[in-house]
Chain A
Amino acid sequence: EPEVTQTPSHQVTQMGQEVILRCVPISNHLYFYWYRQILGQKVEFLVSFYNNEISEKSEIFDDQFSVERPDGSNFTLKIRSTKLEDSAMYFCASSGGDTSNQPQHFGDGTRLSIL
């Protein structure tokens, strides 16, 4: 069964540094998402991406965050200047079809630790 893959599985970064989290969505999917889960808290929506542009973003997704689909397979999340509170598990997801009722399929996540 096709999967969403994320790299790296764990990223440790100094506060203030830039970090890029990488995702390879399922190949025929059209919608891409990033969510995050702070330890012990619920999964929170960050951003959705369709047709090479952001279609929706949350209040969390401020100017420090950006997303990109640099080629036909990768989908990246960049945090420009990391803060301690950015420490969390970041999940990439994708969904297919041209209707919004398709389930989102998640990767195993990248654990981001900011020191």
Chain B
Amino acid sequence: AQSVAQPEDQVNVAEGNPLTVKCTYSVSGNPYLFWYVQYPNRGLQFLLKYITGDNLVKGSYGFEAEFNKSQTSFHLKKPSALVSDSALYFCAVRDPWVTGGGNKLTFGTGTQLKVEL
């Protein structure tokens, strides 16, 4: 079964500093990995994905994520945080080797990012 772990409930960072939000995954084969952001009273907004190829993927709003197969991780990063980045971040995984073809995403529990002045 596919699963995702986000070990930190909350991450605090000062504006202008780099940020990292951690994610580790478990799947039977090569994963499809996604990051989403959720602002209050809104749906999940797609940030970036890793399917294959370059381990460093770039996404919206200056975010990037690094796929590390040996550590089964897909940490979200940004070189310089903004107060407006404060939101709830979800990592998600899809195991393309699972039969059924339903494209089910399995989400982590979410990490609240708080960027302060």
Contacts and interface: CB of A to CB of B under 8 A. Distances in A.
Contacts of B45: 106
B109 A101 contact: no
A56 B46 contact: no
Q: Size range of the interface on A?
A: 20 to 34
Contacts of A104: 34, 46, 103, 105
Contacts of A101: 32, 49, 51, 94, 96
Contacts, number: 70
Interface residues of B, number: 26
Contacts of A25: none
Interface string A28-65: 00010101000001111100101000011110000000
Interface of B: 32, 34, 36, 41-46, 49, 51, 90, 92, 94, 96, 100-110
